[in-house]
Structure 1
Amino acid sequence: MIQNLWSLGLVVVVAAITFLLGYVGSRRANTTPDFLVARRAIPATRNAAAISGEYLSAASFLGVAGLVLKDGIDALWYPIGFTAGYLALMLFVAAPLRRSGAYTLPDFAEARLGSTNLRRFCTFFVICIGVLYLVPQLQSAGLTLNTITGLPAWLGGVVVTVIVVVNVLGGGMRAITLVQAFQYWGKLFAIAAPTFVLFAVFLAGPGNGAQEVDDAGVLRFHKEVSVTTTEQVRVRVEVPMELKAVGQVNGGHANGEVYWGTGTYTVGKGTELWFEKGSPVPVVEDAPTDNAHWLKPQTGGLGGLFETYSLIFATFLGTMGLPHVLVRFYTNPDGKAARRTALHVLYLLGLFYIFPTVLGVISRQYLPHLLVTGQTDAAVLLLPSTMQPNVLGQVLGAIVAAGAFAAFLSTSSGLVVSVAGVVSTDILPGKVRDFRWATVLTGAVAIGLALVLPRSDASLTVAMSFALAASTFCPLLVLGIWWRGLTWMGAIAGLVVGGGLVIGSQVVTVVSSYTGDWAPSVFSMPALITVPVAFLTMVAISKLTSRQRPDDVSRILLRFHAPDPLGFMRDRDVQRFGTAEEKARLADGTRRDPPQPWS
């Protein structure tokens, strides 16, 4: 009970600070540029901290450690890909995107290719990616609240949604920038401090509560353990065992002693399992069953190799297409500041990801029962109290819980702003009032889906969002910035083919999960196929429709790539969203397009 009070207290403190910083940041927010791009006045260092705070979501704070616990060394590709994506973003996208003067990704697409039809397709995929990314944040918030307090899981998602929507309503991008920058440092402390303490305990040697590993490298329970499944789960057994089960096993009712031989077993939701001391630990299907395979990369054969490279494609290239990440680069003063921001983000993320990786490794020795239920995302939350069942463990657990809520709040804020910005400017008239209505609508849809859809590993769900971004906006941005031959028809074809393949594969994966898991891994990790196909489609259709190339393509690309001091950069939609002073300068000719000889 005391741990719950500690955790609840710090979560309330995080929520209160979030409200306070949001209020401070929103005091001068009263125009559409304030709500969409914070008047393009955010310095590089603060923007980098805000991007890092926004980017480090539930998949980073909880999911990475959970995947390391379950999958071992192969899971390290997640933090590597999440971080390395900013290298590509810095080299190819950040500065030209800022110099485009766009407010949103659909705005950039129209500015580059002059097509309102393309803008509509971009709007659709921004909403899809934003909502797909937002749902696991709210579901993980529910998991966190349920784990630390026992309160209903739906309550955590509702609390995060309300806090985020209220903050965004107050000041949009201007309000959440200060919140996200602060929350990065808060999350770094919340993950780093417990890691240092728990790693010191882990190094203390035998007798510290770690689980036994036999000579064959198989994890065994060091005491009697009872486990209750929260969802239906398939577990694999490599060493025969006896246990007690009450509930559904392989479709039949179990009530007492059962014998599990080598094989796979389907355990129903709400089933209670009791394991004797020294029993081997069953693990969820597709996870390594012994330490030798857990420490060895690429044990899954050709299918595992395909999944790894597909994950690399999704995370490395998907970063360049995430709307809630790209919208932050619109807030920099110029292209040079945007590139410097991406560089700062690289080392801020690299520093953070050290700690969940370490916690994931330690969790395998202390929380093997999570491998039975598959709820490995809870490892970071449960590890402090498991390793230190005293006041120190309670305090460390509370700090971790507060950091997890900060992760949900900061990432959800950025996602709501990016989706609401697109909805308000591309579906609604684009005024401040429309942005606020779009914010409420986005929050309502997201929490509705979070409550209805089944929960899966946060990192896996987010990886699908990355795959969709990599297969749609990554080729659009790269080709739109660096290839003059792109046409609006080629861009639409690439978006439809790449995005359609990813969405279709996700549908197949969900259907397969309810009908016997018959779908191969290519459907769960499709980026290795969908990204090249999207690029090739855009190039091929653009070649066939070369007459649709914009007449002023040279002038547009000059604005993207010319150094900032030359003054070619300009804001989009000044006539629509600009202040009276900006409109007057435009009318007087002091904000001119580049000279015409290049057109």
Structure 2
Amino acid sequence: MNGAQAIAAVALVSVATALFSAYGLRPGKATSDFYVASRAVSPFRNASAIGGEYLSAASFLGIAGLVLAYGADMLWIGVGYTAGYLVLLAFVAAPLRRSGAYTVPDFAEARLESLQVRRLTALLVVLTGWLYLLPQLQGAGLTLRTVTGAPVWVGPVIVTAVVMVTVASGGMRSVTFVQAFQYWLKLTALAVPVIFLLLAWRADGAPWPSAQAPPQFRETTTVSVQQAVRVAVAEPVTVKVRGSLDGHALADATVRLGTGEHRLSEGTQVVFPAGADVPHAVGREPLEGNEWSQPLAATDHPVYATYSLLLATLLGTMGLPHVIVRFYTNPDGAAARRTTWVVLWLLGAFYVLPPVYGALGRMYAPELLMTGRTDAAVLVLPTQLVGGTAGALLGTLVTAGAFAAFLSTASGLTVSVAGVLGQELEHIRAHVRARLLRRGTLAARPRRGRTRRRPRDDGRGDVLWLRLAGVVAASVPCVLSLAAVARPAADVVVLAFAVAASSFSPLMLLGIWWRGLTPQGAVAGLLAGGGATLAAVVLTIVGYRLNGWPGILLSRPAAWSVPLGFAVMIGTSLLTRGSVPPGATRILVRLHAPESLVLPLKDVVPDEHGRTGEPPHT
């Protein structure tokens, strides 16, 4: 696939995204359109949109890359991502829809009647959203770098620009149309090429990775280093180098790489002979031989790591803000359940495909283990395995699907973060205005009618704030993605899931199912579970490494941080049981009673001070 084809694929996806955004904008421009698409999204369209935003760079590229390097243990990631919706279906989907809230902080304030809980929840929503956005933007840079040779900053900038237009144009209404289209594009972009890849693999004699030897080059292979990397060589090998090796400039020189570490600069090309062992990027040692194809072999403590990964993905799905907000767009609780049921089928169909790319990449693209760019397996396989015009066309389709993955997930995350930022900015503005009024600096404006003003039907002033918040929500992670060291997309996303599982999951489950939850308990649990996990995540992302149990506890925190969050939240609530909100019983009845037994629900919408107030009486 040449650069022109890749650019055409990216341009088509971007234009289609803009057109669907415009189509979604047509019905209205009110605040409820921006937040929750006026709660009028059908279950199938909503399920497609959930699939579109949920299947991120970690799903489209990352799982295949992790399977390529670490084998069977990485299959649990797709299982956890999908099964997380079973937990949503059983415990959260319908009650959350009945809450009538716009965002997770809205739900927290309405349930616990505490502004402190709301602000802490909002902070965690923003941090989790930005953490999840990092691999999407870095994956976009990797994709364009792989298929066009463009600088790594181009991908994040393009994705950020398109997402800003999508979110600012119409918020959730526009994003819904975009993401529903992008789910089917992503499924097609993986399903069609995999048919040709399996046919080519079968025609090649259906080879399988050796059960004894480490990954090897099946034929003479030229490896192009697109980013500077340090590689570890296990067995000495004679290669031809053009570029910079260990700080020495070489021009088609024959060199013998000795055992140990070597530095390769950006733009260097290394030609390896057939049958040579593949060096691996330092710090990303892949599994070898039988260990690759057997479960519970990827880490020093595989049982703990596996259960921690499953706990993070199962409960993290429930706590992801951009997933949770989707259930507010359904007309009622029954529609929310139907949406979740359809999502399970859509995700199950998708997650069958990435492991196939990972296994084929182990044999036909082992050089990715050397450059550390294992996430690129999905992008390079059509050209390397199929070849010719067909391979170029399939590669173009995969590139389009990958870019759709970045755009859809980034759009969902940005609109959820923008919704929270917009409301909190309104809180700050109202607080400043109230202080100025008290001091007499600002003259009070005359009012007509009720003292508590409902949002304007057109919502233009509020939506302007939300659009500005969307620009901020997209810009900050774009800058961070250019400054942070790139890591495997699926690894970073699992860490984001761990943060959500340790903070929002206890808040949602206890808030929906336990009357005894208090504001003090919620704050303590959010700080203990979410704060401890964020600290572990930051240390992991910046490259702080420990060996043995300390290392695995740091890189896979969910197994200890989730119980910590629940225990602290429950224990503190029991110690402060006198602080149970007076409206707890009323809102719990609303969350659990069928819609036919309560008064028609009204949106829990912000007033002029940015507060959502109490839900209507049942």
Q: So what's the TM-score if we normalise by structure 2? A: 0.88
Counterpart position of 2:280: 283
List per-residue Cα deviations over 1:377-406 (Å, max 9, x = no partner): 111000000012200000000000001111
Alpha-carbon distance change, 130 to 509 in structure 1, aligned in 2, over 3 angstroms: same
Q: How many Å apart are 1:294 and its aligned residue?
A: 0.6
The counterpart of 2:552, out of the listed 518, 521, 545, is: 521
List per-residue Cα deviations over 1:520-548 (Å, max 9, x = no partner): 12111111110000000000100111111
Letter in 1 for 2:109: E
Q: For 2:50 and 2:41, locate their aligned partners in 1 and report how far apart those are by CA, in whole Å.
A: 11
Alpha-carbon distance change, 12 to 558 in structure 1, aligned in 2, over 3 angstroms: same
Counterpart position of 2:617: 593
Shifted more, 305-314 versus 75-84: the winner is: 305-314
Counterpart position of 1:561: 592
List per-residue Cα deviations over 1:113-171 (Å, max 9, x = no partner): 00000000001000001111112111111111111111112111111111111111111
Quick check: 1:541 aligned with 2:572? Answer: yes
Q: For 1:374 and 1:305, locate their aligned partners in 2 and report how far apart those are by CA, in whole Å.
A: 26
Alpha-carbon distance change, 7 to 545 in structure 1, aligned in 2, over 3 angstroms: same
List per-residue Cα deviations over 1:310-329 (Å, max 9, x = no partner): 11111111000000011110
Counterpart position of 1:597: none
Alpha-carbon distance change, 515 to 365 in structure 1, aligned in 2, over 3 angstroms: same
Shifted more, 233-242 versus 498-507: the winner is: 233-242
Counterpart position of 2:471: 440
Counterpart position of 1:498: 529
Q: For 2:121 and 2:336, locate their aligned partners in 1 and report how far apart those are by CA, in whole Å.
A: 22
Q: How many Å apart are 1:16 and its aligned residue?
A: 1.1
Counterpart position of 2:439: none
Counterpart position of 1:457: 488
1:476-491 matched pairs, under 5 angstroms: 476-491=507-522
Letter in 2 for 1:276: P
Structure 2 contact 236–256 (Cα < 8 Å) conserved: no
Alpha-carbon distance change, 215 to 302 in structure 1, aligned in 2, over 3 angstroms: closer
Counterpart position of 1:86: 85
SS class of match (1:541): helix
SS class of match (2:426): coil
Structure 1 contact 57–408 (Cα < 8 Å) conserved: yes
Identical amino acids, percent of aligned pairs: 47
Structure 1 contact 562–568 (Cα < 8 Å) conserved: no
Counterpart position of 1:33: 32
The counterpart of 1:225, out of the listed 221, 224, 234, is: 221
Q: How many Å apart are 1:226 and its aligned residue?
A: 3.3
Shifted more, 212-221 versus 354-363: the winner is: 212-221
CA RMSD in angstroms comes to 2.5
Structure 2 contact 240–255 (Cα < 8 Å) conserved: yes
Q: For 1:236 and 1:569, locate their aligned partners in 2 and report how far apart those are by CA, in whole Å.
A: 65
Consecutive unaligned residues in structure 2, runs of 5 or more: 428-460
Counterpart position of 1:580: none
How many residues align? The count is 575
Letter in 2 for 1:174: R
List per-residue Cα deviations over 1:403-451 (Å, max 9, x = no partner): 1111111111101100000011122258111101101111211211111
Q: So what's the TM-score if we normalise by structure 1? A: 0.91
1:158-557 matched pairs, under 5 angstroms: 158-206=157-205, 216-231=212-227, 233=229, 235=231, 237-243=233-239, 247=244, 257-261=255-259, 265=261, 267=263, 269-270=265-266, 272-284=269-281, 285=283, 287-300=285-298, 303-428=301-426, 431-513=462-544, 520-557=551-588
Letter in 1 for 2:274: K
Structure 1 contact 29–35 (Cα < 8 Å) conserved: no
Structure 2 contact 286–369 (Cα < 8 Å) conserved: no
Shifted more, 16-25 versus 238-247: the winner is: 238-247
List per-residue Cα deviations over 1:470-524 (Å, max 9, x = no partner): 0100000001111111101100101111111111112322454489999612111
Structure 1 contact 283–289 (Cα < 8 Å) conserved: no
Counterpart position of 2:57: 58
Letter in 2 for 1:531: V
Alpha-carbon distance change, 315 to 14 in structure 1, aligned in 2, over 3 angstroms: same
SS class of match (1:257): strand
SS class of match (1:220): coil
SS class of match (1:576): coil
Counterpart position of 1:123: 122
Q: For 1:448 and 1:119, locate their aligned partners in 2 and report how far apart those are by CA, in whole Å.
A: 27
Structure 2 contact 518–573 (Cα < 8 Å) conserved: yes
Q: For 2:271 and 2:503, locate their aligned partners in 1 and report how far apart those are by CA, in whole Å.
A: 47
List per-residue Cα deviations over 1:3-49 (Å, max 9, x = no partner): 32222222211111111110010012311111001111111111000
Q: How many Å apart are 1:277 and its aligned residue?
A: 2.1
SS class of match (1:188): helix
SS class of match (1:484): coil
Consecutive unaligned residues in structure 1, runs of 5 or more: 578-582, 595-599
Q: For 1:294 and 1:34, locate their aligned partners in 2 and report how far apart those are by CA, in whole Å.
A: 48
Q: For 1:128 and 1:179, locate their aligned partners in 2 and report how far apart those are by CA, in whole Å.
A: 24
Letter in 2 for 1:351: A
Q: For 1:269 and 1:496, locate their aligned partners in 2 and report how far apart those are by CA, in whole Å.
A: 43
Q: For 2:209 and 2:73, locate their aligned partners in 1 and report how far apart those are by CA, in whole Å.
A: 21
Alpha-carbon distance change, 232 to 499 in structure 1, aligned in 2, over 3 angstroms: farther
Alpha-carbon distance change, 278 to 503 in structure 1, aligned in 2, over 3 angstroms: same
